[in-house]
Structure 1
Amino acid sequence: MPAPVSIGIVGAGIMGERMLRAVLDQSPDLVRVAGIWDPSAEAMARIGGVLPQVTALRDAAAVVAASDCVYVASPPASHLGHARAALGAGRSVFCEKPLAVDLADARAFVAEAGGRGAVNFPFASSPAVATLADWIAKGELGTLRKVSIEVAFARWPRPWQADAAGWLDRREQGGFTREVVSHFLFLSRRLIGPLHGLEASASFPEAGRSERAIAAKLLAGELPLTLTGGVSTTAKDDHNIWMLEGDKGAVRLCDWSLAERRLPDGSWQRAPDALSQLEARPVSLKRQLEGVARLTRGEPHQLATLQEALDVQEIVEAILAS
C-alpha cells in the first residue's frame, strides 16, 4: 500500500479550514495533515483553539518543507507565489481558484508547471455531476442544443463569507464571477467542451467594489451558452441553476448539488439519490482528496487540471473586463 500523502495548508480562512477538516476526516492511510500556516495570528489562534491537534507551522516555507502536497487557500493574489515555491521544492500543488489575478502570470505558470498541479473545482468529484454525465451519456437528451447558467445572490459577499469581504468584495481579486460563476464555467467545459466566442457585459456600480451584475453569451464546444448573474436579485443567499437542453429533454443542476431531469410533461424529476449541498460536500471532498493523493503519486486523476482552470479564468477575466 502506498504511503499516505501529507498535505500542508497555506491559508486558514474558510476554505483552508474546510479542507483541513476534510483531511482529518479521511483514513490516515490515504492522506494526513502536515500542518497549516496563515499570516494572520488571529486566524492561527482560531484554528489552534478548535483543532489543537493540528501542527501550526511558522511560515509558508515550513509548510512546503513538511508536505508532499501543498494546498493553497490564501487570497488569489498570493496563489502563484506559494504554488511556485511548492513546485520548486518538488511538491505537488492543489490550489484554490483563480490561479492568479494576472492572466499573463497564470499563463506562464501553467506553461512551466507541467502536470504537478491541480485546482479545487469540486464539480470534478460531485455525485450530482456524475449523475448528469450519466444521463447525457445514455442519450436521454437527444441532440444537445444549448446550455444556460443562472446565478443570483441576496447580497455579496454571502453572509458566511463576511470575514473575507476585505478582498472578496474588491474588484482586484473578488466578485461572484470569480468565486461562483467559475465553477459553472468549469462544469460546462468539462461536460460539453472548450469555452470560446465570448460576448459579455459587467456592471460595477459601486466604486472599488466587485461586480453587481453580468450577462454573457459564448460557446461551450459548439453549443451556445447564456449566462446571467446578479446581486440583490433574489431573496436567497445563493441561487444557481446550470441547465443543458437537447431536442428530447433537459437536465439541470440546482443549488450546487441537486441533479434533475425534465420529464415529457415538462415537470422536473430530482435524482432519487440526490443530496443537499451539506450532504454532498463531504462526499465530493473525499473524492477530491483521493484525487490529490493520485496527483501527488503521479497517477491519473479527475481533478481540474491547471489548463482547465486557466481556460476558465480567461473567460472570467474577459467577462469582468467587458
Structure 2
Amino acid sequence: MQAPIALGIIGFGIMGERLLRAALDHAAAHVRPVGVWDPAPAAAARLAGVAGGVPLRDSAEALIAACDCLYIAAPPAAHVPLAEAALAAGRAVFLEKPLAVDLAAATAFVARAAGARAAVNFPMASSPAVAQLGAWRDQGATGPAQSLAIEVAFATWPRGWQRDAAPWLSRRAEGGFTREVVSHFLFLARRQLGPLALQEARASFPPGDGSETAIEARLTAGGTPVSLRGGVGITDKDDHNTWTLRGPGGAIRLRDWSFAERLAEDGTWRQAPDALPNERMRPLVLQRQLAGVAAMTRGEPHHLATLQEALEVQGVVEAILAA
C-alpha cells in the first residue's frame, strides 16, 4: 500500500476546516495533513479546535515546502498566485473554484499550467448521488436527454454558515451564489451531457457593489437545452436546489445536493434507497475527493475536475453575471 501524500491547506475558513476534518477522520489512507496557513487571526483558534495536532505554519512558502499537494481554499483573488507558487516548487495543487477573479486571468493560468498536476474541488465528481444518476441513465431511466432544468434558491446570501466569509462572498467582485453554488450544477451538466454554450442570460444586482440577487439563463450542454434560474429571498430554506434531467423515458433529479430521485409513474419523486442528507453524505464525498487528490499528486489517473472543465464553467458563470 502506498504511503499517504503530504497535504497542506491554505485558507482555513469553513472549506479548509471541512477538508482537514475529512482528511483526519476519513481519508488517512490517502492524505496526511502537514500544516495549515491562514493570515487571519481567527484561523489559529479554529485550528486549535480540531484534534490531530496539525500545525499552523508561519507562511505560505513554509507550507508549500512541507507538502506534496497544496489545497487552496483562500478567497479567489489569491488562487492563481498561490497555485503558481506551488507548481513552481514542484507541488501538485487542488484548487477551490473559481480559478481566478476574472476570466482572462483564469484562461492565462490554465494555459500556463497545461500538463501540471492540478485539479479543482467540484465535489460532485465524487458524489454517490451523482453516481446513482449516472447508473439510472445507463439503465435507460430517461433515454436520450431532452432537457435539463437547474434551480437554486436561498433565504439569504451568504448562507448562515458562511457569515465569516461575508466580506467577499457578498460582493460583486469575487462572491455571489452563481460563482459559489451554480457553478457546481453547471459542472454536473458538463460532466453528464457535454460542453456548455450560453445562449442568453439576465442577472439582477442591488445598488452598490453587492452580489447578484437573481439570475435567469438559457444554455446548452452537449446540445441539450438547459434552463437555469436562481434567486435570493425566494425560499425560507437556507439553501434549496434541484437539477432535473428529462427524456422520453422519464426524469431523474438531484435535490438539495445529495438526494438522487427518479420520477415514478404516479408523478411522485422517489429517492434512491441509500439516499443520505448532505450533512451525512459530505464525509463520503470528501473521502473520495481526497483519494482522487492522492492519485492526482502521484501522477495517476483520477476523476477530479480538471482545470479545463473549471475554466469552461467559469466562462459561463462570468458571462451570466455580465449579462
The TM tier, using the shorter chain, reads over 0.9
| In 2: Cα distance, 1:226 partner to 1:184 partner | 12
| In 1: Cα distance, 2:169 partner to 2:211 partner | 8
Q: What is the DSSP-based 3-state SS (H/G/I as helix, E as strand, rest coil) of the residue aligned with 1:317?
A: helix
Quick one: which amino acid aligns to residue 16 of structure 1?
Answer: G
Equivalent position of 1:105 in the other structure: 105
Equivalent position of 2:303 in the other structure: 302
Q: What is the DSSP-based 3-state SS (H/G/I as helix, E as strand, rest coil) of the residue aligned with 1:320?
A: helix
Equivalent position of 1:184 in the other structure: 185
Equivalent position of 1:227 in the other structure: 228
Equivalent position of 1:28 in the other structure: 28
Q: How much has 1:49 moved relative to structure 2?
A: 4.0
Are the aligned partners of 1:11 and 1:74 in contact in 2 as well (CA < 8 Å)? yes
| In 2: Cα distance, 1:194 partner to 1:183 partner | 15
Equivalent position of 1:139 in the other structure: 140
Going from structure 1 to structure 2, the CA distance change for 1:40 and 1:109 (only over 3 Å counts) comes to same
Q: What is the DSSP-based 3-state SS (H/G/I as helix, E as strand, rest coil) of the residue aligned with 2:238?
A: coil
Equivalent position of 2:71 in the other structure: 71
Quick one: which amino acid aligns to residue 70 of structure 1?
Answer: L
Equivalent position of 1:129 in the other structure: 130
Q: How does 1:178-217 map to 2 (within 5 A)?
A: 178-217=179-218
Equivalent position of 1:245 in the other structure: 246
Q: Structure 2: which 5+ runs fail to align?
A: none
| In 1: Cα distance, 2:146 partner to 2:27 partner | 43
Q: How much has 1:27 moved relative to structure 2?
A: 4.8
Equivalent position of 1:61 in the other structure: 61
| In 1: Cα distance, 2:192 partner to 2:91 partner | 30
Q: What is the DSSP-based 3-state SS (H/G/I as helix, E as strand, rest coil) of the residue aligned with 2:146?
A: strand
Q: How does 1:91-102 map to 2 (within 5 A)?
A: 91-102=91-102
Q: How much has 1:112 moved relative to structure 2?
A: 1.6
Q: How much has 1:28 moved relative to structure 2?
A: 3.4
| In 1: Cα distance, 2:219 partner to 2:189 partner | 11
| In 2: Cα distance, 1:39 partner to 1:238 partner | 29
Structure 1 runs (4+) greater than 3 angstroms displaced: 26-29, 49-52
Q: What is the DSSP-based 3-state SS (H/G/I as helix, E as strand, rest coil) of the residue aligned with 2:141?
A: coil
Q: How much has 1:46 moved relative to structure 2?
A: 2.5
Equivalent position of 2:39 in the other structure: 39
Going from structure 1 to structure 2, the CA distance change for 1:263 and 1:31 (only over 3 Å counts) comes to same
Equivalent position of 1:120 in the other structure: 121
Quick one: which amino acid aligns to residue 258 of structure 1?
Answer: F
Are the aligned partners of 1:129 and 1:259 in contact in 2 as well (CA < 8 Å)? yes
Q: Structure 1 vs Structure 2: percent identity of aligned residues?
A: 61
Q: How much has 1:52 moved relative to structure 2?
A: 6.4
The answer to whether 1:165 aligns with 2:158 is no
Q: What is the DSSP-based 3-state SS (H/G/I as helix, E as strand, rest coil) of the residue aligned with 1:234?
A: coil
Quick one: which amino acid aligns to residue 177 of structure 2?
Answer: F
Q: How much has 1:206 moved relative to structure 2?
A: 3.0
| In 2: Cα distance, 1:233 partner to 1:38 partner | 35
Quick one: which amino acid aligns to residue 37 of structure 2?
Answer: W
Are the aligned partners of 2:27 and 2:291 in contact in 1 as well (CA < 8 Å)? no
Q: Deviations over 1:87-122 (max 9, x none)?
A: 000100000000101211111111121241000000
Quick one: which amino acid aligns to residue 136 of structure 1?
Answer: R
Quick one: which amino acid aligns to residue 41 of structure 1?
Answer: P
Q: Deviations over 1:149-200 (max 9, x none)?
A: 0000010000100111000000000000000000000000001111003310
With the length of structure 1 as denominator, give the TM-score of the two structures: 0.98
Equivalent position of 1:3 in the other structure: 3
Going from structure 1 to structure 2, the CA distance change for 1:143 and 1:46 (only over 3 Å counts) comes to closer
Q: Structure 1: which 5+ runs fail to align?
A: none
| In 1: Cα distance, 2:78 partner to 2:310 partner | 16
Aligned alpha-carbon RMSD (Å)? 1.1
With the length of structure 2 as denominator, give the TM-score of the two structures: 0.98
| In 1: Cα distance, 2:298 partner to 2:39 partner | 29
| In 1: Cα distance, 2:7 partner to 2:281 partner | 22
Equivalent position of 2:17 in the other structure: 17
Are the aligned partners of 2:27 and 2:290 in contact in 1 as well (CA < 8 Å)? no
Q: How much has 1:221 moved relative to structure 2?
A: 0.6
